Structure 1
């Protein structure tokens, strides 16, 4: 398990000062959570939703820009992810590994940090399981998918990320 984590999530996991144990725990939870999300029947958010005042289209746009690796155009970024998902099986294994590292490192980790600060979620350095559920699960799927196109973009982007991870895990 640790070798898979080291391949998919290279250190340092975050730009914050985390102990080795915290870093390892967060990476384990991310891998497990991506796998669990693929089975909808088993997906049960365990934390309360952020307050209504915490959500805004501006915050969602900022998240979209992070997920599209700073592109600035959330619509273009969304289609880049969809295009990459279709093309991924045609890349050599080493290239696929590099792509997955970049996606997970930039999209998932950045969003955990972003969500934990902007939406005042549980501190992920103290309770990483709660922060992971909030960032990838409750906030992305239950909150934003009910609030228009940008919300659907964020939720669908995490679906695509999970699908890409699943393709690599199944090899």
Structure 2
């Protein structure tokens, strides 16, 4: 077994779609980033890369590369799943949290879990996504950005 942790944060900006866990969430702002800014998927990518001992998202998908400009982050996760498969690992379980004051994410979490599970080639029961506000504290609470953390257990 191998364990990995991932963390990501992006600021909110008008004129962008809000994508979390590969799912478009209706909101007046989206996450700014070189890719689609999907903090949840980026945290999952980093957790898996960390468990595999392969560095981080920036090493594999640099924000200086036009190849990754505005890319749908699920595509990045698919590539990391290929690394995981090539080393003989599969998902034991994945536990994630998204910190955002707004919008309310509960109506979208089931769709995120289904898409992430499908991408990871695992059962939906192995993927858990939670959302929380920060009680109006910090940059998330001031609605300046959204952060996410992920912990993954890989089985060989």
TM-score, normalised by the number of residues in structure 2: 0.30
TM-score, normalised by the number of residues in structure 1: 0.28
The structure with more helix, counted as a fraction of residues: 1
